[in-house]
Amino acid sequence: MKHLRLVLFLVAASLMSGCSTYFYQWKPASGDIAWIEGREVTRAEQNGVVLVASYEFEDAHNIVLDVEVKNRTQASLLVDPNDFHYIPFDTKNDTLRSAINASYTAFYRALNPEEKIQQATLDIQREKRRLAAASILNGVLLVATVASDINSSNRRDKSWTQRANLQYAHAQAYNFIIQKQIADVNLQRIRTERLQHERANWQEMSLRKTTLPPNESIRGLVFLPKDERASSAWLTYTSPSDSTQMQLKFLQEKIKGN
């Protein structure tokens, strides 16, 4: 099931990024670099903590890395996606400035999966409330249409043509309300399924905050906000619990789409 979700996730990501003229990918440029099963992987180690990272894919807003952290110390290690960040550089190896405030260096921290999971859950609940509100409105429209239909049927001051036109108008109104309810239900189902799928991706495939026992490892996807201006980037992993700080350099390749 996880493999199926990964395939669907990658397809969705490629569709989202397919609207862009260019594609962006990261190529390891420091650390112990090796090719493993068709992908270029880099590795660094410090204080008994091993960091392995490789480019996975890009979506509309993020560069996504496949990251593994191994704890070879004698103590537990808290691994948190919030401990990953990067600083982008231009072609002259100068730091890029923030797109929001040029007084500051550009700085990007990995997205927090727990926040994304919570947001998806809230959005699912919002979709349910939206459907309930739409159903109430459709009910009100139906009651008003029925009342109007009964009232017009009991009136005898209208000609046969007028009554026929009113019956036709009410039939159209009934059909509109039915079709609107069907559309509301289908739209809510599609949105809910998309949100549930998105939440499952964050729950099962992302690197999540975990206390890692000695001699254990954890692996998952790390989502880093994309800066299309960058020529290279220094990815930093910091472990506050044991003062570990490792850096890996990546080159950002800009590939023109077909």
* pLDDT per position as a tens digit, 156-204: 666 767 767 777 887 888 888 888 888 888 888 889 888 888 888 888 8
Q: Are residues 164 and 143 in the same domain?
A: yes
Q: Are residues 42 and 126 in the same domain?
A: no
* pLDDT of 4 higher than 70: no
Domain that holds residue 183: 118-202
> For the residues 215-224, what does the mean pLDDT come to?
94
| Number of domains, the chain | 2
More confident residue, 1 or 27: 27
Q: Is the pTM of this model over 0.85?
A: no
Q: Are residues 190 and 214 in the same domain?
A: no
Structure tokens at 220: 């998952």
Looking at the chain, the whole-number percentage of residues with pLDDT higher than 70 is: 88
